[in-house]
Structure 1
């Protein structure tokens, strides 16, 4: 039985990845931060795997800011695979808390890479680093691929560039099996409510149900490459099953504006977003990323991976789930996307 450790297991990607690995027979361990309020709703449905003598899901208190705890945990667990998904991942918020973002997202990756070496598991473990399309920022090439130069435009993306190159450095310096997945925007009903896609789908549902009147947004012209998170974690796993470590872009090779995502979301409930959406400059970034579109041809060729859900389908999946949520219907992640 393979053993995997996931940082950020309670997040969107972490929950889908935990599901996938458990379905493949893995023993899954996750790092969670201590908090006075428990926020594990995305993995509550996996409780069956965490009980009894044959439990295969285990949670451990820890933090990417605590290098000693990381070394102790890795030495104790001896995992076969590590997926580093933990981060302060909100781009706009990273301008408000840059130091924290850099420490958790950038230096945190350095701590776990060094913990791999210090714990003595470097020869056996396979490591996945969650890199981001935001690293391309002021894009130097269209579409963006693995060899496109980075030009980050936020503290978040700068920290991700740091984590990405640390992964490359540890791979080259210590012969570590380490991969980075440069994932373009990937969404789902489990996306946090402050991210623009979920903010839109939740508002569309609330306005349809008469629970909200207006939605306030910033730049509506920014273009993004949106895919379905559940499909993207499959790509993460496939990266660690290759004979040699490498870095891969996961994307759809299609780009849409915020306006087009609004069209799809409000159309799903029979509304015109132009009657409900208003501009608010507070949501503008100090430095904007205008266009992201990824070339996933390398992942298709070497991993056999490609996206299956387009933006309009994704928006409808999210809006339908938010309609159920706001109407008090029980949302069962095990039976829904």
Structure 2
């Protein structure tokens, strides 16, 4: 593992786009624990209830002292440039963008506008700064689409088959172009599916764990899903953000696949979740064709060996443990506020 180049004794400043999301919240906690000053970019239309960071916002020793929020959209170059000049970050973690693969078929233009062009605009701003921060761009396994080989690594050709995958491919390759052409310290974290109790409820894993919890409590009667045979390489989000931080502490920028090297089907995740509350998922799950995507990626499986060897990062090991922790979290939430679930539907991710 290479030693960090920056002076680790100095207080660093980081800017996180997408700070209120799953990864952003875990990354914020990690950076604060390491003594960083953290600035977060929040969309003007973002929900004012930011439950993932609620405890930090209400801590007077943290909020407005070592954690600051700034409003701005990814397509608002003037505002973001002003924020960059004001905060002068040492590191930028670019996590924002439309991240729901299924939804990208419904809103392909805005997906490309924010995920693809938003990244390019940020790269252009960084290029013009006198003090150039290090950049981490969160990429996706969706860039590989339907690869010829498995598992995939950093050299696997990009062949996206979804609007989200196309947008991420553009952004990923632009990061590589700016790294080579303009000597930017810019890294791609090519993340395979990573979940946690903080996962949004529109994603299939969280839909499953919430449904398992709700059904066990008598608050829900069924769960409607798309294809159950789709397989994903599912890891733990909290572990992945640690690797993201490690990437920006290296001597030289590079791209890294973050994955577990194992895949599970949606049916496997159902079994892990429902078995945890002593239920048989077959009694409650209804397959609904309307949730099957027009086209989907192959059974993507990532090879994390480069991150393991270069960063010293260890990928998470148990998808079953992850599912069970998510179910336990949802049980606690529903028991505190036992109201009927608003929806039993999910788009398979």
- Residues 108-138 of structure 1 deviation map (CA, whole Å, 9 limit, x = unaligned): 000111111233332xx10000000111111
Choose the corresponding residue for 2:271, options 263, 270, 290. Answer: 263
Q: Is the 8 A contact 2:56 2:63 kept in 1?
A: no
Q: Is the 8 A contact 1:86 1:105 kept in 2?
A: yes
Q: Is the 8 A contact 2:228 2:266 kept in 1?
A: yes
Q: Which residue of 1 aligns with 2:27?
A: 17
Distance of 1:175 and 1:52 partners within structure 2:
35
1:245 aligns with 2:245: no
1:170 aligns with 2:170: no
Distance of 2:240 and 2:130 partners within structure 1:
30
Q: 1:53 to 1:296 in 2, by over 3 A?
A: closer
1:58 aligns with 2:68: yes
Choose the corresponding residue for 1:276, options 280, 284, 288. Answer: 284
Distance of 2:234 and 2:33 partners within structure 1:
25
Distance of 1:166 and 1:304 partners within structure 2:
27
Superposed, 1:91-102 pairs within 5 Å as: 91-102=101-112
- Residues 35-79 of structure 1 deviation map (CA, whole Å, 9 limit, x = unaligned): 374131111111256657981000000111111111111111110
Find the residue that maps to 2:197 and give its secondary structure: coil
Superposed, 1:174-253 pairs within 5 Å as: 174-253=182-261
Q: Compute the displacement of 1:167 (Å).
A: 0.4
Q: Which residue of 2 aligns with 1:333?
A: none
Distance of 1:233 and 1:36 partners within structure 2:
22
Moved over 3 A (4+): 48-54
Q: Which residue of 2 aligns with 1:141?
A: 149
Q: CA RMSD in A?
A: 1.5
Q: Which residue of 2 aligns with 1:335?
A: none
Q: 1:248 to 1:36 in 2, by over 3 A?
A: closer
- Residues 285-329 of structure 1 deviation map (CA, whole Å, 9 limit, x = unaligned): 111113011100010000000123410000000000000011117
Choose the corresponding residue for 1:129, options 107, 126, 137. Answer: 137
Q: Which residue of 2 aligns with 1:334?
A: none
Distance of 1:48 and 1:126 partners within structure 2:
30
Q: 1:148 to 1:44 in 2, by over 3 A?
A: same
Q: Which residue of 2 aligns with 1:28?
A: 38
Distance of 1:191 and 1:266 partners within structure 2:
18
Choose the corresponding residue for 2:169, options 161, 171, 182. Answer: 161
Q: Which residue of 2 aligns with 1:110?
A: 120
Greater shift, 85-94 or 306-315, is seen at 306-315
Q: 1:303 to 1:193 in 2, by over 3 A?
A: same
Q: Which residue of 2 aligns with 1:291?
A: 299
Greater RCO (CA < 8 Å, at least 6 residues apart): 2
Q: How many residue pairs get matched?
A: 328
TM-score by length of 1: 0.94
Distance of 1:262 and 1:138 partners within structure 2:
25
Q: Is the 8 A contact 2:187 2:254 kept in 1?
A: yes
